[in-house]
Amino acid sequence: MLIRLLLFLLLSTPLLAQSQREAGLELVLLADASGSIDPDELAFQRQGYALAITDPAVVAAIQNSIYGNVAVTYVEWASNKAVVVPWMIVDGPDTAEDFATALIGPPRQAYGSNAIGGALLDAKRLIEQNDIFAPRAVIDFSGDSIRNSSGPGIAQARAEVLAAGITINALPILRPEDGRRAGANLEEEYATRIIGGPGAFMVTAEGRTSFAETVRRKLVLEISGLTPDTYRTALSDKAQASSP
């Protein structure tokens, strides 16, 4: 976090400001498109994120943030990485709707086996090589497995991402309704091997019916700079302050 903040202050000069975009947060939505995700599930995930980013609670979190905007890109990962929606500045209902519309249409381009380490490093490059400067950067990693069949190892990639001052949050997808729950310890594995960095947290998608709501909650937390624990504390404090 300190490294990114110092870099942000160093590079935010009047000259560079003419060619660089500024946002309060750079957020990579890194969604699973490996072999365990069929076309219907891929479309379902995109629809869930589209519904979440246009939700009034998410839009309010964006507009109430310190910069009033976030930079977001949606990337699907497998053996290869595919950018479905390039970096977009979202600052209100209209731009949120633009992002959602762009997300629904493109054909699938990511195929193959799991390559979590490579996906994390691809997300890191997308953050470092864009034209956006922000004091915070987050990779929002989602998946239904901890397998890493090709490419860099998870531990190596995670260490490189964290060393760059980028936070990794996670969304393990359990999918109990189709009998393919991806390992009894998926949440524990994501908690110990995936997430990391300042304020890192994990929110679990228990199934299809709650997916969009889970994503919505996660986006509110990430945009607000909160974790599930600090969010609950804030709600409790607010309730106590408003009680007679």
Number of CB atoms found within 10 A of residue 242's CB: 7
- Whole-angstrom Cα distance, residue 46 to residue 101? 10
pTM here? 0.85
> What's the pLDDT tens digit per position in 188-210?
999 999 999 999 999 998 877 78
Domain 30-237 has CATH 3.40.50.410: yes
Closest C-alpha to 139, from 117, 110, 156:
117
Provide the b/e sequence for 144-173 (b: ≥16 CB within 10 Å).
bbbebeebbebeebbeebbeebbbbbbbbb
Please report, for the chain, the start and end positions of each structural domain, with discontinuous segments joined by +. Answer: 30-237
Q: Please write the tens of the pLDDT for every residue from 104-149.
A: 989 988 888 889 999 999 999 999 999 999 999 999 999 988 989 8
